[in-house]
């Protein structure tokens, strides 16, 4: 397999441009400039990693989001960074040919390929609510996980269960960590996840040959370390007590805080506020709609979406706003996740590392 530097050389990219690229990438991944030499070294020595990308019960929005990535662009990821050897959506081959190829890649790269999972397995009817090659998807999932060096759970389906697992969960669909219990799983939740978060996770793994630092729930810290509420450009309106009272009112036209018409920003960890979608172009709150919390566990059953989260003193001031997160999470999550606690755990973990 070729290394990045070899690929670049082959493209006639100068050493100078290569270093420039590595520097940009370092910044993009939120790493300190002192890390540049390590990134360069990684790019010189790491070959293209084979990726097997399987699909369970899902809607393919994760794949669609992935190809929306602007930095890096989809063509660069697929043809120069990874080797996407199996993917229901993009693979040219079909049927037995592609299934045999998956087996071949698993054997050839045993312990060295990345398994990416979009969607989740239904356990009802012996798994036959999702069938690949005449077999239950759950069987393919277990089999493909065995030789993987790392597993990525794309989106809220694979990470938490998402829409098909919302009440009453007719097919008994479960997140993949209910089925694969002996391997670390990188959860990249969101419905879908932000494109540049997806490619950012891939790039990190390719360059450093390790999984990115994860929080207590298995999410990459660099992308899920902040509540949307804390990074939201409308936060100052929240603090000032300036709210949209009804859609399309004067406050809505002025871009005031959407908390009162239903916004899960205070209980949702994702990069929508800082990274935003489409390379910083917008995010739901910027378009005038509250966050529906799509990166959070059980968000479908924590509705209705247009009701404000209870138990939060508004308008708040900065010191109160921190409490808001903890109170709101406890109220909204119904015991499933306690963000207040998660935040504390995360903070102490960070300290240890430092």
Which CB atom, from 188 or from 342, has the smaller least distance to other proteins? Answer: 188
Which CB atom, from 294 or from 328, has the smaller least distance to other proteins? Answer: 294
Distant-in-sequence, close-in-space partners of 230: CB < 8 Å, separation ≥ 6? 273, 325
Q: Is residue 238 a contact residue for other proteins (CB under 8 A)? A: no
Cα–Cα distance for residue pair 332/309, rounded to 1 Å: 7
Shortest distance, CB of residue 323 to other proteins, whole angstroms?
26
Q: Which stretch binds other proteins (CB under 8 A): 122-130, 174-182, 196-204, 315-323?
A: 122-130
Q: Which stretch binds other proteins (CB under 8 A): 176-184, 219-227, 240-248, 328-336?
A: 240-248
Contacting other proteins within 276-295 (CB under 8 A)? 277-278, 281-289, 292, 294
Taking residues 13 to 42 in sequence order and writing x for each that binds other proteins by CB under 8 A, - otherwise, the string is ------------------------------
φ and ψ at residue 269, rounded to 5 degrees: -100, 115
Q: How many residues bind other proteins (CB under 8 A)?
A: 102
Binding residue for other proteins, selected from 28, 31, 35, 166, defined by CB under 8 A? 166
Shortest distance, CB of residue 319 to other proteins, whole angstroms?
25
φ and ψ at residue 116, rounded to 5 degrees: -110, 130
Shortest distance, CB of residue 243 to other proteins, whole angstroms?
14
| Nearest one of 178, 175, 123, 117 to 148, comparing CA atoms | 117
Q: Is residue 9 a contact residue for other proteins (CB under 8 A)? A: no
Taking residues 69 to 108 in sequence order and writing x for each that binds other proteins by CB under 8 A, - otherwise, the string is xx--xxx--xx--xxxx-xxxxxxxxxxxxxxx-------
Cα–Cα distance for residue pair 172/98, rounded to 1 Å: 28
CB 180 within 8 A of CB 145: yes
Binding residue for other proteins, selected from 113, 129, 238, 243, defined by CB under 8 A? 129
Which CB atom, from 164 or from 267, has the smaller least distance to other proteins? Answer: 164
Helical pair 15-28 and 195-208, crossing angle rounded to 10 deg: 120
Which CB atom, from 289 or from 308, has the smaller least distance to other proteins? Answer: 289
Distant-in-sequence, close-in-space partners of 271: CB < 8 Å, separation ≥ 6? 194, 197, 223, 224, 226, 231
Shortest distance, CB of residue 140 to other proteins, whole angstroms?
10
Helical pair 36-45 and 15-28, crossing angle rounded to 10 deg: 120
Secondary structure (3-state) at 29: coil
Cα–Cα distances (Å) from 44 to 19, 28, 37, in that order, read: 11, 19, 11
Cα–Cα distance for residue pair 188/295, rounded to 1 Å: 8
Q: Is residue 252 a contact residue for other proteins (CB under 8 A)? A: yes
Q: Is residue 139 a contact residue for other proteins (CB under 8 A)? A: yes
Neighbours of 41 (CB within 10 A): 13
Taking residues 37 to 76 in sequence order and writing x for each that binds other proteins by CB under 8 A, - otherwise, the string is -----------x-x----x-xxxxxxxxx-xxxx--xxx-
Which CB atom, from 65 or from 144, has the smaller least distance to other proteins? Answer: 65
Cα–Cα distances (Å) from 295 to 97, 132, 158, in that order, read: 35, 27, 11
Which CB atom, from 272 or from 326, has the smaller least distance to other proteins? Answer: 272
CB 240 within 8 A of CB 315: yes
Q: Is residue 310 a contact residue for other proteins (CB under 8 A)? A: no
């Amino acid at each position: 397999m070729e290394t990045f530097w070899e690929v670049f050389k082959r493209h006639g990219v100068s050493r100078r441009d290569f270093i420039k690229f590595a520097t940009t990438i370092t910044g993009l991944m939120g790493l300190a400039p002192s890390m540049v030499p390590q990134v360069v070294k990684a790019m010189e020595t790491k070959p293209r990693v084979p990726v097997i990308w399987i699909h369970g019960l899902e809607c393919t929005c994760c794949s669609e989001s992935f190809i929306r990535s602007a930095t890096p662009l989809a063509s660069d990821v697929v043809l120069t960074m990874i080797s996407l050897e199996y993917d229901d959506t993009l693979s040219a081959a079909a049927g037995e040919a592609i299934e045999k190829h998956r087996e071949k890649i698993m054997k050839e790269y045993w312990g060295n390929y990345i398994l990416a999972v979009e969607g989740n397995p239904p356990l009802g009817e012996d798994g036959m609510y999702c069938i690949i090659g005449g077999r239950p998807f759950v069987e393919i999932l277990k089999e493909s996980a065995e030789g993987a060096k790392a597993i990525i759970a794309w989106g809220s389906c694979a990470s938490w269960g998402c829409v098909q697992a919302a009440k009453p969960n007719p097919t008994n669909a479960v997140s993949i960590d209910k089925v694969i219990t002996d391997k670390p799983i990188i959860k990249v939740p969101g419905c879908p996840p932000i494109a540049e978060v997806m490619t950012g996770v891939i790039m990190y793994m390719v360059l450093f040959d390790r999984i990115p630092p994860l929080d207590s729930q298995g999410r990459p810290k660099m992308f899920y370390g902040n509540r949307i509420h804390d990074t939201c450009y409308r936060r100052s309106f929240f603090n000032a007590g300036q709210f949209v009272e009804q859609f399309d009112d004067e406050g809505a036209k002025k871009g005031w805080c959407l908390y009162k018409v239903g916004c899960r920003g205070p209980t949702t960890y994702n990069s929508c506020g800082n990274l935003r979608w489409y390379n910083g172009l917008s995010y739901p709150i910027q378009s005038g709609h509250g966050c529906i919390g799509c990166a959070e566990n059980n968000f479908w059953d924590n509705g209705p979406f247009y009701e404000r989260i209870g138990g939060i003193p508004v308008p708040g001031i900065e010191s109160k706003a921190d409490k808001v997160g903890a109170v709101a999470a406890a109220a909204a999550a119904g015991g499933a996740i306690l963000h207040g606690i998660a935040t504390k755990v995360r903070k102490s973990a960070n300290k240890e590392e430092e």
